[in-house]
Structure 1
Amino acid sequence: MVIQPIDTKERKYGGTRILKYKQQIEEVKDRTHKIIERSCRFYGSSYHFKKEDTIRITGIISKPPILFTPLFPTYFFPTHSDRKDENAWINIHYVQHIKRLKDRKCKITFVDEQTLNIDISAHSMRHQYLNAIYYYYMMDRAARIATFDPDAPIDYTKPQLNIYEALAKYSLFEHK
């Protein structure tokens, strides 16, 4: 649900806290950006290309969300610029509520009732969340049009996934 930088003994923001759905919080010694880059590469592309795809598809140039793979919608949005060490990444599908706190902070409640306080305003957090939802919508709409049936979403639970439907989503990405 969340990939958040944390301080280690050796370095400020040198580790990462990982919040998973209905699981204990996990902490690892890898930096957050390294985990994001490794995840992007696992799904066949670099972080840079994922970011450029988002910009091309949505026009969002400031703190763009990313999609690891269109087969299993994993849309994450950043809390800060990716050049900032304190940047955390949040999966849109688990956010239940964003609450304003004092001193330009906010509290995110996730669907499994876990919470997280973040050092950005609720307004900025909602803006980032809505950017990611917009990206999700643009990808879904393009895939529906590519499969020639805009009224019927791709059903990933079918016993046999139509390879054409899956490839339609991947075709939206082009490497330059």
Structure 2
Amino acid sequence: MEIINKYVIKKGDMVVQPFDTKERKYGGTRVLKYKQPTEELKERAHKIIERSCRFYGSSYHFKKEDTIRITGIISKSPILFTPLFPTYFFPTHSDRKDENTWINIHYVQSIKSLKDRKSKVTFVDNQFITIEISGHSMRHQYLNAIYYYYMMDREARITTFDPDAPIDYTKPQLNIYEALAKYSLFEHK
């Protein structure tokens, strides 16, 4: 695998997971990608998350505050990088923990509890990861992210004055008003 630097989350990224390098514990990051080879990065996972937030228009702190404001989820808050493609990620641990892994809800196929407070997450392309977090906690984090996704979608439909029709990002021509409606939810009030 090629090791690269200065990575930004993009379409098709399923997992941002720290791993040990010879220089330091959790010093590198693996990015599992949908139906593509895994990429290994020479930087910590949280740095990639922070850079990706800035790339998509806001700091990590403000993305986290937006989640709290919209959902009330104050512990291990999921974040949305951009509403233009599926980038709702949830953390497995506190963002202050180096072992924290970020998982994109749109690619999760199943979560299975394992022995010794571990869980296995299988993705829609049959890749999987095993994480040192109980299945119960993993499902809780996953459901928090689904709730955030639901609240964003609901608010965007209300804002576009058509609560019965979800925004369709797969259309050949994206309605910029619909996309801006989701971004408007981040406006600090």
1:126 aligns with 2:139: yes
Matches within 5 A, 1:96-175: 96-175=109-188
- What secondary structure sits across from 1:49 in the alignment? helix
Determine which of 77, 96, 103 is the counterpart of 1:90.
Answer: 103
Q: Percent identity?
A: 88
In the alignment, the residues of structure 2 paired with residue 25 and residue 159 of structure 1 have an alpha-carbon distance, to the nearest angstrom, of 29
Runs of at least 5 residues in structure 1 that lack an aligned partner in the other structure: none
Letter in 1 for 2:97: K
TM-score where L is the length of structure 1: 0.97
1:12 match: 25
1:73 aligns with 2:123: no
- What secondary structure sits across from 2:179 in the alignment? helix
Q: What displacement does 1:160 show?
A: 2.5
RMSD between superposed Cα atoms in Å: 1.0
In the alignment, the residues of structure 2 paired with residue 106 and residue 160 of structure 1 have an alpha-carbon distance, to the nearest angstrom, of 40
1:24 aligns with 2:61: no
Matches within 5 A, 1:30-49: 30-49=43-62
In the alignment, the residues of structure 2 paired with residue 158 and residue 100 of structure 1 have an alpha-carbon distance, to the nearest angstrom, of 38
How many corresponding residue pairs? 176
Q: What displacement does 1:98 show?
A: 0.4
* Mean Cα deviation higher: 26-35 or 128-137: 26-35
Runs of 4+ displaced beyond 6 Å: none
Letter in 1 for 2:112: K
In the alignment, the residues of structure 1 paired with residue 58 and residue 107 of structure 2 have an alpha-carbon distance, to the nearest angstrom, of 24
TM-score where L is the length of structure 2: 0.91
**Per-residue Cα deviation, 1:117-138 (whole angstroms, up to 9, x for no partner):** 0000000000000000000000
Letter in 2 for 1:36: I
